Structure 1
Amino acid sequence: MFEKMKQLMDMQKFAKEAERRLGDIRLEREGLGGKLRASVSGNQVVHSLSIDESLLAPVQKGALERALVDLLNGALSDAKAEGARAAMDLMKGLRGG
């Protein structure tokens, strides 16, 4: 019984540490030749978005919307991959290897 409780406490500690580490990771991604920029954390939170003024013209609306979707999806995909890598590193430490 005590061993099961210890395992549960270890897993809770692991989850908190993983969340903290993911929050500390910052990933940057650019689109449209650097005219769009996004910063996301490893826990998939968008922290900043920068749009060059040249993209704010009404004629650019459709291209901007498509580029923003691509940019954010790419940044969040990067964050998900980085999160998986960080979790694997933590699991290795939890297993003692």
Structure 2
Amino acid sequence: MSTLKLKLEVHGIDRSGISQKSGKPYVTHFAFAHLPGVPYPQEVSIYGGEKGLANGHYEVPYRIKVTDEGRAISLLMDVANATPVASAPRSSAA
């Protein structure tokens, strides 16, 4: 079985603070996810953990979880194991 990887572009911090439950810092990022079969990147807010991620392009391992007796599907990203990748060159408009 192969590991599923999602291309993610991180563009800054959406929210940050201290968790009331654990008392630890947290960061959520403003990002764009390149979903398979979808022609345009989708805006997402992702949990970055305590340290967060630097702005840039990443490949993030993920898994799909089916819940609620098969009625709901969740995409779970493993941001802690995100791998930085070079950004794709942008084509210039003619």
Q: Normalising TM by the smaller chain, what interval?
A: under 0.3
Whichever structure has more helix as a proportion of its residues is 1
TM-score computed with the length of structure 1 as normaliser: 0.22
Instruction: Point out the structure with max Rg over C-alpha.
Output: 1
Whichever structure has more strand as a proportion of its residues is 2
TM-score computed with the length of structure 2 as normaliser: 0.23
